[in-house]
Structure 1
Amino acid sequence: MISFMNIQENTLISYNLIKDIKTDYVIFNTENMFIDKYQLHAVNLSNDHIFTDYLLDDDYTNQWSIFGESQVDTSLLLAVNFQPAMIFHVEKLKRLLKEHNEYTLFDLSLMVLLNQATILVDGHVVFSFNQNLKPTKHLVQSYGDRLEQLGRYYGNQIKCINNDASTLLSIDTLMNRFNLLNFFISKLKLYPALYRYFLKRKLKPYQHLVQERNIKATKQIIVFLGFDFQYRGNSKYLFEEMIQNNHVPIYFILEDNDPLLHTNNSNYFVPKSQSSKLIEHARVVILESFAPDDFITNGYVFNLWHGTPIKKLFLDSLEPYQNQNIFLYKYRKYNKLMRTDYFLTDHPSADNLFKTAFHLKNTNIIHYGYPRLHYLKAQRLNQQHTIKDTILNKYGLSNDKPILIYLPTWKDYDYEPLEMKQLEQYFHVLSKPHPTSNATVNGKIVEEATEDLLVIADVVLSDYSSVIFDSLALNIPSYLLMDDYETYIATRGVYDSVINDLQPIIYYNRETLIQDLIYKTHVAHSSKFINQTTNNDQLINLIKKRLNT
């Protein structure tokens, strides 16, 4: 579906050069360019040219806010940081080149933008340019009235800029406001140097995210950051195992108001406000989500991530609100992910999901299984009855019905709560809302750790939560309610491969779901994403190996 044509940077692309291409799309590949096939495969091809995200000299320095949309005005791309990261639609390209002359790759990309009002965009980081490609002076001068910021940078134009605010710097704002300053800077050709200065100043607060680490500055210390400094999930259970048989200092960083800081084991716990130097000099740092903005470390970084995703993540998801409203959202998040040395998945089948979502190009993906699930397997085997009695007694429930655990995920729209009265005739329905959700949830609301609820569950009901892979791995009858599927995919998106895999246990109708639960109609589903591991030995051995490096 996509052709690749190898050319030189200054090759003139003409109609005759492309007239025999039979595929729908073409990518021109120069000697100064690398194309990431995993990222390219994730691009949603449609009937138009597509502009994608990219690296420059192996660094991500883009300020674009456009990638929260699927289609944007072409004028928003005509900025200094533009590079020809284009997937060209062949038929449209042929029509363009029939009407115009031949062009270099950069100029051709600009001509596409100049000849149409909108263009498709995709936030996957498909291209990596070894050097900054440039337009020809002839094109900049010919279209200087429309190229605006490019005209200032390459063509010494004196003109106000109406561009994507995320790409404008203080120098642009000042020049737009003061005509005399505009004239002075343009006359002395100071704009390129001033642009680079203000860009560097804008990115300076986050330069620690892209600095090379210094292993020699670290000590044999292991530091856990947990799930956003919370003592739960994979981090908790790996930490508890490692402190039993380890001879080096191990610490867990918590929020300053966490009550665990004042328990008998408080010597293992460190408040976040006092942790920066500890994190910076630890040989191994272990987290479970995205790192904080002030993440400075010289050590090896392990990310235990918190589940196999159903809903799309980061580069695979548009995230329109975040891209438009959070300052340098993508720049910060992408570069924090690039600090990861080892990324843990629960099963090899999930690896590609994270490769496209997080662009783990220099990261070792290790599918050793989640520590949380290893804990669950052991607890269901050895402690199920004890934990069950404790929870039932706490909520005044008798042991006369099976236990249905309801674990809905977070949604950013109004969702009619599932009525539980009919189910409560047959089950003890214990519901645990998502910690960041304010939505109404029926059933008996409980506060126990999700892991303890899974230990005692006879049935698990969820929607788009990755917890379903835990329940499937534990052979618990599992059900997914997706009666809002169209709304959910429009706001967040899901992985088609995962949805297809889970299809036998997905319900799009509430009445059908309730009847199947009551009559115990259940499909014993064997997902390809189900974890098969039973312990943390491989993971702990790798951590110890890095610790002794």
Structure 2
Amino acid sequence: QLCRPLDPGLAVFAAYWHRGYACHPAAIEAKVRELAPGLRTAWITTPEYAHTLPPGVRLLHPGSAAYWTALARARFLVNNVNFTPRMRKRPGQIHLQTHHGTPLKHMGLDLRDRPAAARGMDFGELLERVDRWDYSLSANRHTTLVWERVYPSGYTTLPYGSPRDDVFQHATEDDVARLRARFGIPAGSVAVLYAPTHRDYQRRSVPRLDAERVARALGPGFTLLVRPHYFHTPGEGVGGGGIGNMVSSGGRVLDVSGHGRVEELCLAADALLTDYSSIMFDYANLDRPIVIHADDWDAYRAARGTYFDITAAPPGPVSRTEDELIALFTTGAWCGPRSAALRAAFRARFCPYDDGRAAERVVRRVFLGERQELLPPVVPLAERRPAPAA
């Protein structure tokens, strides 16, 4: 197959090490079908996630003959992580690396002195993979500076925003209501999405928060949507004995770990509760309250390394203990004036391009070959109207 001509009409996509149709590649694939219908799209995923693919998208099983044929001959290759090291990129192929979030924690070459996070990473092999990239997607100036330093190569940076967040600018009040009904959020309840990140310094997941205790303390007016990091099993690391696939605390703690589209969870939630997850940068585009629970900030920063102090420049109020967290919600500080001011500064820094047309800019530049000056201009922050909270 490597000796046969490239297929100029084929684009191959993947995300999260073959965990289904998700993230920036999914938003870009959908926009390719809309703006470049002459292209055929194929998605690499395992049978476990095959149900996530929309109609009209060809399924490629990792390791199959069709998989290797597609990697050898597709004109376009899109992923939010790296493809297999066995892939041989050919002249004429275009590789778009979308990444999967704004970096707070150290990445790439910055992990050379972080053994707990690097876990035996082969940095020479990493640089060989980076050399395949033709384009690297960036959501803000901070991300551009980090990626170009920790993934050095000759690719072109595309400062176009986060395609997976485009939906935040297009979803309607009815869309939000439908999602809340699907997740079982009671009418009139304040839905808080709790999405913690992975800890490199722990051999196994240790609960950072007792979700059931927090739900009891907040009372019937609140509902917690619990979504552990995708490295963990459902309910792992949320305290209260684990959530699993059950609904607990009188229906006020909902396990949503099985739902693959995190953007839909964000749309359904009235507020985000996280620690150091990059989901905060995405959720800020909704201009809804964000609370940071930083109970182990010093340990996390020492083990992983971070690019700035999120407790000093947060997107909202910060708690250090579970009792402080409960107080932030029971006193109303989670959505008060200071919360809004912190969020406004955070959005100005990290959401400059996320106006709902990031995927369109990518498709027009990479797949259709349009010149930079002809791409849709970015809508200023003050003129954006993200989906309203319930």
Task: Give me the whole-angstrom Cα distance separating, in 1, the residues matched to 2:54 and 2:14.
Answer: 20
Return the match for 1:441 from 230, 235, 238: 238
CA contact (8 A) 2:28 2:362 kept: no
Contact 1:223 1:286 in 2 (8 A): yes
The 5 A counterparts of 1:286-435 are 286-298=78-90, 299-317=93-111, 318-321=113-116, 325=120, 329-359=122-152, 361-380=153-172, 383-392=175-184, 397-412=185-200, 413=202, 415-419=206-210, 420=214, 421-435=216-230
1:234 matched to 2:63: no
The answer to whether the 8 Å contact 1:345/1:351 transfers is yes
- Describe the superposition over 1:80-102 as per-residue Cα deviations: whole angstroms up to 9, x where unpaired: xxxxxxxxxxxxxxxxxxxxxxx
SS of 2:272 mapped into structure 1: strand
1:460 pairs with one of 272, 286, 302: 272
Who is 2:9 aligned against? 220
CA contact (8 A) 2:33 2:39 kept: no
Question: Larger RCO: Structure 1 or Structure 2 (Cα < 8 Å, ≥ 6 residues apart)?
Answer: 2
- Cα distance in 1 for residues equivalent to 2:44 and 2:160: 24
Partner of 1:250, secondary structure, is strand
1:151-190 alignment, distance < 5 Å: none
Q: Distance in 1 between matches of 2:199 and 2:118?
A: 18
SS at match of 2:288: coil
C-alpha spacing 1:369/1:428, structure 2 compared with 1 (3 Å):
same
Cα deviation for residue 214 of structure 1 reads: 10
Structure 1 distance, partners of 2:163, 2:172, is 14
CA offset at residue 269 of structure 1? 1.9
% identical aligned pairs? 18
SS of the residue corresponding to residue 479 of structure 1 reads strand
Q: Please give the per-residue CA displacement for 1:130-188, whole angstroms capped at 9, x wherever unaligned.
A: xxxxxxxxxxxxxxxxxxxxxxxxxxxxxxxxxxxxxxxxxxxxxxxxxxxxxxxxxxx
Q: State how many pairs are aligned.
A: 328
The 3 A distance-change label for structure 1 pair 424 and 314 is farther
Q: 1:322 to 1:519 in 2, by over 3 A?
A: closer
- 2:222 counterpart letter in structure 1: F
Contact kept, 8 Å, 1:334 with 1:358, in 2: the verdict is: yes
Q: Matched residues in 1 for 2:54 and 2:284: separation?
A: 36
1:265 aligns with 2:58: no
Q: CA contact under 8 A between 1:254 and 1:271: conserved in structure 2?
A: yes
Structure whose CA Rg is larger: 1
Structure 2 equivalent of residue 248 of structure 1? 39
- Cα distance, 1:545 vs. partner? 3.3
Aligned residue for 2:238, secondary structure, equals coil
**Native 8 Å contact 2:137 2:158 kept in 1:** yes
CA 1:337–1:506: 2 relative to 1, 3 Å: farther
C-alpha distance in 2 between matches for 1:501 and 1:351: 19
Secondary structure at 2:186 match in 1: coil
Give distance in 1, aligned partners of 2:128 and 2:176: 42
Does the 8 A contact of 1:224 with 1:251 survive in 2?
Answer: yes
- 1:332-355 per-position Cα deviation (integer Å, ceiling 9, x unaligned): 112111211111111233211212
Shift of 1:373: 0.2
Secondary structure in structure 2 of the residue aligned to 1:227: coil
Distance apart, 1:509 and its partner CA: 3.2
Once residues 336 and 316 of structure 1 are traced to their aligned partners in structure 2, the CA distance between those partners, rounded to angstroms, is 16
d(CA) in 2 for partners of 1:507, 1:405: 16
Q: For residues 313 and 135 of structure 2, what CA distance do their matches in structure 1 show?
A: 26
Report the Cα distance in structure 2 between the residues aligned to 1:479 and 1:265, rounded to whole angstroms.
Answer: 38
Alpha-carbon distance in 2 for matches of 1:403, 1:488: 27
Residues 312 and 493 of structure 1 are in contact (CA less than 8 Å); yes or no, is this contact kept in structure 2? yes
SS in 1 for 2:356: coil
TM-score by length of 1: 0.55
Equivalent of residue 519 in structure 1, options 331, 343, 352: 331
AA aligned to 1:271 is H
Letter in 2 for 1:440: G
Kept after mapping to 1: 8 A contact 2:190/2:222? yes
Aligned match of 2:248? none
Partner of 1:149: none
Q: CA deviation at 1:476?
A: 1.2
1:494–1:424 CA distance, 2 compared to 1 (3 A): farther
TM, length-normalised to structure 2: 0.76
Task: Please state how far the C-alpha of 1:498 moved relative to its aligned partner.
Answer: 5.7
Q: Structure 1 unaligned runs (5+)?
A: 1-212
Deviation at 1:254, TM superposition (A): 1.5
Contact 1:384-1:455 within 8 A present in 2 as well: yes
Alpha-carbon separation, structure 2, partners of 1:339 and 1:378: 33
Label 1:368 to 1:543 Cα distance change in 2 as closer, same or farther (>3 A): same
Q: How much does 1:324 deviate?
A: 6.7
Cα distance change, pair 322–429 in 1 and its aligned pair in 2 (3 A)? closer
Q: Distance in 1 between matches of 2:316 and 2:361?
A: 33
Indicate which of 331, 351, 368 corresponds to 1:545: 368
User: Per residue, is there more helix in 1 or in 2?
Assistant: 1
